[in-house]
């Protein structure tokens, strides 16, 4: 058994906190003497350490008490009584991690949308943040969906591999850097070497998304362009930058004698 003084020294907690936990029924002493002395056994120490661990993960005392009172079944007589408690703590930690990963996805999406547009659009930001409670999360991301009456099953499988806003896909990070470079280069002469290099980088970047499948690439951007007439499917797209990218890619494609590029369909 451990006295309050020994508990304070062993677990690094204040006397006032121990008294409060006793008061709210969160951690009762194992033995309470008539003279006011209180003693705690090893199980009480484990329970206290569990309480502090849950607090460190931002659980309130009310939530922790509910965890003890409602979610921890009585252990079998031949089992360690704290195994269910520790298992429940793992499950709670897993849920917390899942929630945090969802928040990371949403917050990255907000940042990437602002970077794409070059400015903050409060309506777009609100619409993205609102997705935090979406039931469509899969592995901490909200996957894109594509209509089966427009694309074949094989095409949909390929499109699911596109960079996803909110993800850490390096292809998306490359595109964001290219958008920044494009925005800085828009006043340069279209025949300048840096503009030609930019057009080539965009061509390679977009082609990598579709693994070189130009037919699917064109079909996808035609769909995005048509579907975005009423409301944007991709938040943060800067139409001026999009038109400029289309223009320089058209310019260098035509100058090189390649197949004519469909204006307005490459990155929309």
- Please report, for the domain that includes residue 54, its CATH number: 1.10.1660.10
Task: Tell me: do 246 and 138 sit in the same domain.
Answer: yes
Taking only the tens place, the pLDDT of each residue in 154-188 is: 999 999 999 999 999 999 999 999 999 999 998 89
**pLDDT of the residue at 264:** 41
Q: Taking residues 121-143, what's their average pLDDT?
A: 82
Distance CA 140, CA 159 (A): 19
Short-list 78, 2, 5, 16, CA closest to 47: 2
Task: Tell me: do 22 and 141 sit in the same domain.
Answer: no
Q: Taking residues 16-23, what's their average pLDDT?
A: 92
Task: Tell me: do 32 and 135 sit in the same domain.
Answer: no
- For residue 268, being part of any structural domain is answered with no
Task: Tell me: do 37 and 112 sit in the same domain.
Answer: no
Task: Tell me: do 65 and 131 sit in the same domain.
Answer: no
Q: How confident is the model at residue 197 (pLDDT cuts 50, 70, 90)?
A: very high
- For residue 78, being part of any structural domain is answered with no
**pLDDT of the residue at 71:** 55
Give just the sign of the alpha carbon dihedral 212, 248, 237, 173: positive
- For residue 150, being part of any structural domain is answered with yes
Task: Tell me: do 245 and 192 sit in the same domain.
Answer: yes
Q: Which residues form the domain of 54?
A: 2-69
**pLDDT of the residue at 218:** 92
Is the confidence at residue 72, as pLDDT, over 60? Answer: no
Task: Tell me: do 59 and 116 sit in the same domain.
Answer: no
Is the confidence at residue 229, as pLDDT, over 90? Answer: no
Q: Taking residues 201-205, what's their average pLDDT?
A: 94
62 and 33 Cβ atoms separated by less than 8 Å: no
Number of structural domains the chain divides into: 2
Task: Tell me: do 58 and 114 sit in the same domain.
Answer: no
Task: Tell me: do 49 and 112 sit in the same domain.
Answer: no
Task: Tell me: do 63 and 116 sit in the same domain.
Answer: no
Task: Tell me: do 42 and 167 sit in the same domain.
Answer: no
Q: Which of 45, 69, 93 is a domain's end point?
A: 69
C-alpha distances out from residue 114 to 86, 103, 173, Å: 42, 17, 13
- For residue 210, being part of any structural domain is answered with yes
- For residue 83, being part of any structural domain is answered with no
Task: Tell me: do 228 and 180 sit in the same domain.
Answer: yes
Q: Which of 69, 99, 128 is a domain's end point?
A: 69
- For residue 62, being part of any structural domain is answered with yes
- For residue 90, being part of any structural domain is answered with no
- For residue 26, being part of any structural domain is answered with yes
């Amino acid at each position: 058994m451990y006295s309050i003084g020994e508990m304070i020294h062993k677990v690094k907690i204040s006397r006032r906190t121990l008294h409060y936990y006793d008061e709210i029924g969160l951690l009762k002493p194992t033995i309470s003497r008539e003279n006011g002395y209180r003693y705690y056994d090893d199980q009480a120490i484990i329970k206290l350490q569990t309480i502090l661990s849950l607090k460190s993960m931002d659980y309130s005392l009310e939530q922790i008490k509910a965890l003890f009172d409602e979610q921890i079944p009585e252990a079998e007589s031949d089992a360690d009584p704290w195994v269910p408690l520790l298992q429940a703590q793992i499950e709670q930690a897993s849920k917390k991690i899942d929630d945090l990963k969802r928040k990371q996805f949403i917050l990255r999406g907000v940042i990437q949308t602002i970077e794409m547009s070059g400015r903050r659009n409060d309506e777009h930001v609100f619409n993205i943040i609102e997705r935090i409670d979406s039931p469509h999360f899969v592995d901490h991301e909200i996957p894109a969906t594509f209509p089966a009456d427009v694309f074949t099953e094989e095409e949909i499988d390929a499109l699911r591999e596109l960079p996803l806003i909110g993800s850490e896909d390096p292809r998306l990070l490359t595109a964001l850097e290219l958008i920044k470079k494009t925005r800085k280069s828009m006043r340069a002469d279209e025949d300048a070497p840096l503009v030609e290099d930019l057009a080539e980088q965009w061509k390679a970047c977009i082609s990598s998304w579709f693994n070189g499948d130009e037919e699917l690439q064109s079909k996808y951007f035609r769909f995005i362009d048509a579907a975005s007439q009423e409301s944007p499917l991709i938040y943060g797209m800067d139409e001026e930058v999009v038109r400029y990218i289309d223009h320089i890619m058209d310019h260098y494609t035509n100058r090189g004698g390649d197949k004519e590029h469909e204006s307005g369909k490459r990155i929309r």
